[in-house]
Structure 1
Amino acid sequence: MANEKAKLEQNQDEKPMTFLSMVMLTGFVGGILWSGLGYLAYVFNFTEIRPNVVLEPWALGDWKNGWLGTVISIIVLGAVSIVVALIYYAALRKMNKLWVGIAYGLAIFMLIFLVLHPIFPSIDPINKLERNTLITSICFFILYGTFIGYSISYEEQEQTQRQENEKEVPS
């Protein structure tokens, strides 16, 4: 009896993740991945900007500069990245070009370093940043935008292809 139940459960297809869930997961993973790599770039002196700057406007105390602050900052950046991915999903998901993701990453860079700059007092103005910091930050944002953009656009294209194939195959 238990064997038959196990076989029945094994034969049932798992429900695939919804597209919106995939977008949110992509955003979270992208935020964690690229902010974690940003922290490594800070450790190896490629940049003077730590992920912890995201806590500056809201968190009090020195804890935010320690390991706990770094971990919480990376998780917060993962959560913020979900919003970034949802914006891409809403506006640009049908554009399956690498350049769109690159431009999206550059737009996020410009938004943070030019528009939202006053929120983060420990980041120097863009014209006073060290060359290594500027180049590393631009590259990370380009790669981040490409990761978010291409992942979402690719999945959109795959979903559209699956729907077209289902229409072609008679039941």
Structure 2
Amino acid sequence: MENQDKLEQDKQEEPVSLLSRSLVTGFVGGLLGGFFGIVLFYFNFSEVSPKSYLLRSWLTASWIDSWLGTVLSILMIGVISLLTAFIYYVLFKKINSLMMGIAYGIVMWFIVFYIIQPIFPNIPPLMELSANTIVSTVCLYILYGTFIGYSISYDYNDTMYKLRADKERKS
């Protein structure tokens, strides 16, 4: 009976999968990126707000300009960021380099501000954006890409190192 009933302190937690941790990293990165995007817009470093992309493009309700629109935009960016983290996880997780995260951020900026921009009617084309907006948003995307990329790559490489060390220790 005593062997069957383990003490609570002796039970080991189920490890969280690497993919799950990567998705959490993506969600948190999206929340932080969305928050700082709102800050850039609020302090006039950028003429484009995350609300402009996600809500104002398709909705005309008055609540979009309130705190609810801001919070909903940030949460939506967090959810969309799950996809970007998953893509990074699948394609680049083995590359443990800050440069890969920087490049990933720049590519995402180019996709958002150039390739898919035409589906957002209230966002000016890239050539009509101010230099402040371009520089500020590129910097934000570089920080976001670096956060996502380096966090996922570091976690992957650290996990693989620990697995190899455990395997060597057992043999």
TM-score by length of 1: 0.91
Q: State the Cα distance separating 1:25 from its structure 2 match.
A: 0.3
| Runs of 5+ unmatched residues, structure 2 | none
| Runs of 5+ unmatched residues, structure 1 | none
Could you tell me which residue of structure 2 aligns to residue 39 of structure 1?
38
Could you tell me which residue of structure 1 aligns to residue 98 of structure 2?
98
Q: State the Cα distance separating 1:122 from its structure 2 match.
A: 2.2
Amino acid at match of 1:147: F
Q: State the Cα distance separating 1:67 from its structure 2 match.
A: 1.3
Q: State the Cα distance separating 1:167 from its structure 2 match.
A: 1.1
Q: State the Cα distance separating 1:121 from its structure 2 match.
A: 2.0
3-state DSSP of counterpart to 2:121: coil
Worse overlay, 94-103 or 50-59: 50-59
Could you tell me which residue of structure 1 aligns to residue 28 of structure 2?
29
Amino acid at match of 1:48: E
Amino acid at match of 1:19: L
3-state DSSP of counterpart to 2:170: coil
Worse overlay, 37-46 or 148-157: 37-46
Please say if residues 34 and 50 of structure 2, whose CA atoms lie closer than 8 Å, have aligned partners that are also in contact: yes
- Measured in 2, the distance between the counterparts of 1:57 and 1:49 equals 12
Q: State the Cα distance separating 1:59 from its structure 2 match.
A: 3.1
Amino acid at match of 2:72: I
- Measured in 2, the distance between the counterparts of 1:60 and 1:128 equals 23
Pairs within 5 Å for 1:1-171: 8-53=7-52, 54-170=54-170
Please say if residues 57 and 122 of structure 2, whose CA atoms lie closer than 8 Å, have aligned partners that are also in contact: no
- Measured in 1, the distance between the counterparts of 2:79 and 2:143 equals 18
Amino acid at match of 1:140: L
Amino acid at match of 1:13: Q
- Measured in 1, the distance between the counterparts of 2:88 and 2:161 equals 20
User: Equivalent pairs: percent with the same residue?
Assistant: 43
Q: State the Cα distance separating 1:60 from its structure 2 match.
A: 4.0
- Measured in 2, the distance between the counterparts of 1:58 and 1:125 equals 17
Amino acid at match of 1:25: V
The Cα RMSD (Å) is 1.5
Q: State the Cα distance separating 1:163 from its structure 2 match.
A: 1.1
- Measured in 2, the distance between the counterparts of 1:160 and 1:79 equals 27
- Measured in 1, the distance between the counterparts of 2:35 and 2:122 equals 19
- Measured in 2, the distance between the counterparts of 1:170 and 1:145 equals 37
- Measured in 2, the distance between the counterparts of 1:131 and 1:123 equals 15
